[in-house]
Amino acid sequence: MAPTHSSSNDESVRMVFMGPPGAGKGTQSNLIKNKYCVCHLSTGDMLRAAVAAGTPFGKKAKEIMDAGGLVSDEIMVGMIRDELENNQECQRGFILDGFPRTVPQAEKLDEMLEQRGQQLDHAVELAIDDALLVSRITGRLIHAPSGRSYHREFNPPRVPNRDDVTGEPLMQRPDDNAETLKKRLATYHKQTTPVVGYYQKRGIWRRVDASKSPAAVWGTLQAIFAAKSQ
């Protein structure tokens, strides 16, 4: 059974964004963020920022990582809760990228949102054949300070290797290579399949063909959001 939604704002978007590396989550997240005025919470970026800033959650996470452990689900959910409560951009909604990766994490996220009187509107999976991702990954460029992403072929910056907004140099991530990608894809598929099943049962999962152009993917996403608000 599909969940009911507590928000009266038809333009709100509260979503989990799933997809393998290179599927286009960064590009689409920026479009969603700009149109719907929501925050983009990339849990990897959040974790690195919290550690660098020495926040309470960051200090706990650093201790665990320095000892070679994995940061607990409770810490990750706590960091997300902090952002939802203190980040003004999150008032109209959020895009959660990189979490949940497991069913227990999805359950903990639902519990936290329920405590806030909220529910997810969408769990969107950007699906693409593994073989197509190699060219996407090797062409990807990142503006590290902002997280803006580009692609040499599909989404090039206006000036080669320069960020459109600041003009600063773009970089390629060290792990954006074919060998590393294959390992990351194997891990992604193993983790994500059960999470997809979880959100399918909730009635909020949508699969989007990410092999299409970024403009076509964006059109599909807007149609999904519009259907929810009707």
pLDDT of residue 161: 95
Write the pLDDT tens digit of every residue in 77-123. Answer: 999 999 999 999 999 999 999 899 899 999 999 999 999 999 999 99
Task: Give DSSP secondary structure letters for the chain.
Answer: -PPP-----TT-EEEEEE--TTSSHHHHHHHHHHHHT-EEEEHHHHHHHHHHHT-HHHHHHHHHHHTT-PPPHHHHHHHHHHHHHH-GGGGGEEEEES---SHHHHHHHHHHHHHTT---SEEEEEE--HHHHHHHHHTEEEETTTTEEEETTTB--SSTTB-TTT-PBPB--TT-SHHHHHHHHHHHHHHHHHHHHHHHHHT-EEEEETTS-HHHHHHHHHHHHHHHH-
Amino acid 222: pLDDT: 94
Place of tokens 């929810």: 228
CB 5 within 8 A of CB 119: yes
Catalytic (active-site) positions: 25, 101, 140, 173, 184
The β-bridge partners of 123 are 16, 205
199 known member of a binding site = no
Phi and psi dihedrals of 95, rounded to 5? -115, 120
Measured between its terminal Cα atoms, the distance across the chain in Å is 17
Closest CA to 216 of 28, 74, 56, 26: 28
Residue 147 clears pLDDT 70, i.e. is over it: yes
pLDDT of amino acid 133: 84
**Residue 202 pLDDT:** 94
Name the range with the highest mean pLDDT among 133-137, 153-157, 223-227.
223-227
Q: What is the pTM for the complete model shown?
A: 0.76
Q: What is the pLDDT of residues 187-213, one digit of tens each?
A: 888 888 999 999 999 999 999 999 999
C-alpha distances in angstroms, 91 versus 13, 69, 207, 219? 10, 33, 26, 24
Segment 34-83, tens digit of pLDDT: 999 999 999 888 888 888 999 898 899 999 988 888 889 999 999 999 99
Name the region of 216 (left: φ>0; alpha: ψ -120 to 50; beta: rest). Answer: alpha
Residue 21 assigned to a binding site:
no
Both tokens of 101, joined, read 């990766």
Give residue 187's identity as a one-letter amino acid code.
T
Q: Which residue has tokens 């997810």?
A: 120
What whole-number distance in Å separates Cα of residue 120 and Cα of residue 133?
28
Mean pLDDT of 10-16: 82
Q: Assign domain 14-227 to its CATH architecture.
A: 3-Layer(aba) Sandwich (3.40)
Question: Any known ligand binding at 26?
Answer: yes
Whether 24 has a binding-site annotation, put simply, is yes
Across 166-187, average pLDDT: 86
Q: Is 166 annotated as a binding residue?
A: no
Q: Is 23 annotated as a binding residue?
A: yes
Provide the pLDDT for residue 11: 65
Report helix angle 73-86 to 103-115, nearest 10. Answer: 40
Enter the tokens of residue 137: 């990954």
